[in-house]
Each structure stands twice: as C-alpha cells, then as structure tokens.
Amino acid sequence: MATPAIPTLPRTYRPLGPRIAGLVAMAALLAIGAGAWFSFDDPTRASFTLFQRGTVIALTLLALATIFSLTRSRVQADQEGLTVVNGYRRHRLVWEQVVGIHLAPGAPWAVLDLSDGGTVSLLAIQGSDGARSRRAVRELRAVIDR
C-alpha cells in the first residue's frame, strides 16, 4: 500500500452524515412545531398559559442546542497541532501529545491516542461517513507519523 500524501495544512475535517441529519432534524422540529401551533384554532391557542408556551419554547431551544452541538464538531489540523471540537467542548493538542489515530471497523468515530495514555474521541470523523472518514484518518496519520 502506498504511503498517503501529507495533506496541506491547515486542514479542517467535519462529519457529513451527522451534519445533514442534524440540519434535517432542526428543520423538521421547527416545521412540525410551527405547523402544530398554527393548525390550532384561536380558542385552543388562547388556552395555553404563558408558562406552557415558555416551556415548549425552552424545550425546543434545548433540542436545537443539542442538535447544533453535534453538527458543529470538527477537527482542525495546523502546523502546531490539532484543535478538536466535540459538541461544545474544545481540546487543543500539540503534535507532540498525539501518538496515533485509529478508526476501528464498526466504531462510531475515530479516536486519538495521546502520549499521556489518554484518548480523545473525534466526533468530526464519523465511521458512518465511510471512505470520507477513512481518508481523513489516513491523512491525519500521515501528519502524525511525519
């Protein structure tokens, strides 16, 4: 097998499938909620208290924030190291901290092995993205091994 080419840095990796699913889920949630609300007649809408309306709005915003956290996952590789964004959490790793990367068959996402024995999951490189995720792992492995 040929040695993969080292990608030009900086390079950003993002999941494709989860981003599409997240955007569709957000649109569906808003469309269903708005459709349900506007399908009620005026007396039914008027029967909702301010607290009930606020609860529905708060739960909708919570669901949207959760979906958004999954769609914003990314891995940015630059000359100094990696920036890993998983949901609302951000990790900054220098190349010396990163020992390896692997994506086991059937695994949901790639995992970085760190020099301190720890690991960091890469939600941006999803196993469900198939060849796209395998290419990203090969590229990052080439940068790590250089």
pLDDT tens figures, 113-123: 999 999 999 99
Q: How far is CA 126 from the centre of its chain?
A: 9
Q: What percent of the chain has pLDDT over 90?
A: 85
The predicted model scores a pTM of 0.80
- Contacts of residues 81-85 at CB distance under 8 Å and 24 or more positions apart, as own/partner, are 82/112, 82/140, 84/112, 84/120, 84/122, 84/124, 85/124
Q: CA 61, CA 38: separation in Å to the nearest integer?
A: 19
Domain range for 71 is: 1-146
How far is residue 11 from each of residues 36, 78, 85, 100, measured CA to CA in Å? 43, 7, 14, 17
Structure tokens at 85: 């964004």
Cis peptide before 10 (omega within 30 of 0): yes
pLDDT tens figures, 21-34: 999 999 999 999 99
What pLDDT shows up at residue 4? 64
Q: In this model, does residue 43 exceed pLDDT 90?
A: yes
For residue 127, the tally of other CB atoms under 10 A from its CB is 18
Number of domains in the chain: 1
